[in-house]
Every structure is written in C-alpha cells, then in structure tokens.
Amino acid sequence: MARRPLVVGNWKMNGTRASSQKLVADILAGLPGNSPVEVGVCPPAVFIPEIAQSLAGKSVRLGAQNVADQDEGAYTGEVSAPMLREFNVSLAIVGHSERRALYGETDALVASRYAKAIGHGLTPILCVGETLEERESDATFAVIDKQLGAVLDLSGVESLKQAVIAYEPVWAIGTGRTASTEQAQEVHGYIRGKIAALNAEVADGLQILYGGSVKPDNAVALFGQPDVDGGLIGGASLDAKSFLAICLSA
Ligand code: PGA
C-alpha cells in the first residue's frame, strides 16, 4: 500500500499569539494547492482556537501537543479530547519524550491518553524512542517494545488504523544530532515488523514518522527510507521556510 507522507510541526511552548498567526499564514501561503503530502501543526493549546479559525476549510490539519486521559472533571491543567474536537483538532501528540522525561508521564498514562484520543475520533501521534544511555546499552528495541506494548495492551492493534507512530530518539531531539538514515530505518522497520506480526494490513497502512532534528538538508534522505513516512518536526517547524522545505521533501 502506498502510504501518504505526513509532516507535522510540533511548536512546543514557543511563540506568541501574533507569531503563531503569522507562521500558520505563511505555511498556508507556501503550500501547493494539491499537496501530495499531508501537513499538520500542533500549536500551544492556548492558541488553538485562533489557529483553528485560520485553518478552517484548509487542508492543513490541526493538532494538540497532548490530550487528557479523562473526558472532564477535576483534572487541573488538562485539556480533554472532546474539548479539542470542538475546535476541529484532529491530531494529538501523546507520549512525547519531553512529557515522559520532564513531567513523569508513564507508559500507562500515555496509553490512557492514546485511548481517549482514539475514543473521541482524534488521531493520536504516539511518540516512542530511546535515550542515549538506552541505545548505548542495546536497549532500544526493548524500550520500543515496552512503550508500544502498553498501548497495544489497552487499545489493541486495530486502533493503529486510526493512529500515527513517531519514532523520536531522545538523543536526537533538539540536539542537532539526527539519527542516520540507517538508524532511523532500522527502528522504523522494527516497529512495522512488530505490528505486522499482529496484523499485516494495519502495519502496511501505518504512517511511522521520524522525529529528532529534522532539517531541510536531512529530510530528503530520512524520508527516502522505505519505512519512514514523514516527520514530526520541532525546532525547524517554527520557521515557515524550513518547515515548508521539509514538507516538500516528503
Ligand atoms: P526537534 O524536535 O525537531 O527540535 O528535534 C522534534 C520533536 O521533539 O518532536
């Protein structure tokens, strides 16, 4: 199956109301009308309502950087899937390594967030990836197994029909150090193989993105790998020109 490439910008906690409006306007202006690449942006939550207005009727998808593991109630600081749906959000990053490492999100919590996204018709972008220490101790595949396993146990392999996986080696995020094409392909192939052992059709259709210091000058080679279906872009997504160049590489 030919998988459609997907490139998603993760703006993290950056920008202002004005700069985020400008960024989205510049992206819209620079994208070709019938882009073969699917494009998405994940602004800080507070900017979502305005960005949703800018994206109304456009092909660029709106995403959230996280989603609550509950629908409503006494969960200070969280934003639920039904709330996001009110603003035409269709993507939700879950399990980003910054959430895991800086805010203590466990595999179980990430799996619950993923399940809520699925349950409310959002497409979760499930981030998985190893730290440098884990890679150097040959634990990369074991880490991926554990992170994916928690989600598969709770939501089942069929849920991946409605999801995207992002392989993001922690050591490559925001460091300027990208995985080599071989390193990326090796893990992407491993993930697809693991899913294929459960359900070949789901594995075949699954978009697996690479994330970690993707820039215009390394995107073509990374996206050229057979199991790399696009990217989750942090730093370079804050600059419309770089982000557009990356989108056009996919
Ligand atoms: P980076 O971030 O492109 O700045 O490395 C990627 C990510 O964290 O999703």
Boundaries of every domain in the chain? 6-249
Q: Give just the sign of the alpha carbon dihedral 11, 102, 64, 200.
A: positive
Q: Which of 10, 14, 128, 170 to mutate to test ligand 1, by most ligand atoms within 8 A of the CB atom?
A: 10
User: In ligand 1, which atom is closest to the CA atom of 214?
Assistant: 3
pLDDT of residue 33: 83
Please state, in angstroms and rounded to a whole number, the distance separating the CA atoms of residues 8 and 182: 22
- Partnered with residue 208 across adjacent β-strands are 165
pLDDT of residue 176: 84
pLDDT of residue 1: 59
> For the chain, how big is the Rg over CA atoms in Å?
17
Residues sharing a CB contact under 8 Å with residue 234, sequence separation 6 or more, in sequence order: 10, 12, 173, 174, 211
Residue nearest to atom 3 of ligand 1 (CA): 234
**Which residue, among 43, 162, 174, 178, has the nearest Cα to 114 in the 3D structure?**
162
Residue nearest to atom 7 of ligand 1 (CA): 234
Enumerate residue ranges in the chain where pLDDT < 50.
Answer: none
Q: Is 189 exposed, middle or buried (0-12, 13-18, 19+ CB in 10 A)?
A: middle
**Would you call 158 a catalytic residue per the annotation?**
no
Whole-number Å distance, alpha carbon 5 to ligand 1 midpoint, is 18
Please state, as a whole number, how many other Cβ atoms lie within 10 Å of the Cβ of residue 200. 11
pLDDT of residue 34: 83
Residue ranges in the chain assigned as alpha helix (H) = 17-30, 48-55, 81-85, 97-102, 107-119, 132-136, 140-155, 181-198, 200-205, 216-223, 240-249
Q: Which of 232, 237, 242, 243 to mutate to test ligand 1, by most ligand atoms within 8 A of the CB atom?
A: 232
* Phi and psi torsions of 102, nearest 5°: -90, -25
b or e along 108-117 (b: 16 or more beta carbons within 10 Å of the residue's beta carbon)? Answer: ebbbbbbbbb
User: In ligand 1, which atom is closest to the CA atom of 98?
Assistant: 8
Whole-number Å distance, alpha carbon 184 to ligand 1 midpoint, is 14
Residue nearest to atom 1 of ligand 1 (CA): 234
pLDDT of residue 37: 96
Here the tokens at position 242 are: 């770089």
The pLDDT tens digits for 84-130 are 999 999 999 999 999 999 999 999 999 999 999 999 999 999 999 99
* Domain 6-249 in CATH 3.50.50.60: no
The pLDDT tens digits for 213-235 are 999 999 999 999 999 999 999 99
Whole-number Å distance, alpha carbon 114 to ligand 1 midpoint, is 20
* Phi and psi torsions of 78, nearest 5°: -95, 155
User: In ligand 1, which atom is closest to the CA atom of 166?
Assistant: 9
User: In ligand 1, which atom is closest to the CA atom of 173?
Assistant: 5
pLDDT of residue 143: 98
Please state, in angstroms and rounded to a whole number, the distance separating the CA atoms of residues 238 and 20: 9
Instruction: Return the biggest CA–CA distance within the chain.
Output: 48
Whole-number Å distance, alpha carbon 212 to ligand 1 midpoint, is 5
Residue nearest to atom 2 of ligand 1 (CA): 234
Prediction pTM value: 0.97
DSSP structure class, residue 176: S
CA distances in angstroms from 186 to 2, 19, 78, 222, 228, listed in the order given: 20, 37, 35, 12, 10
DSSP structure class, residue 138: T
**Would you call 38 a catalytic residue per the annotation?**
no
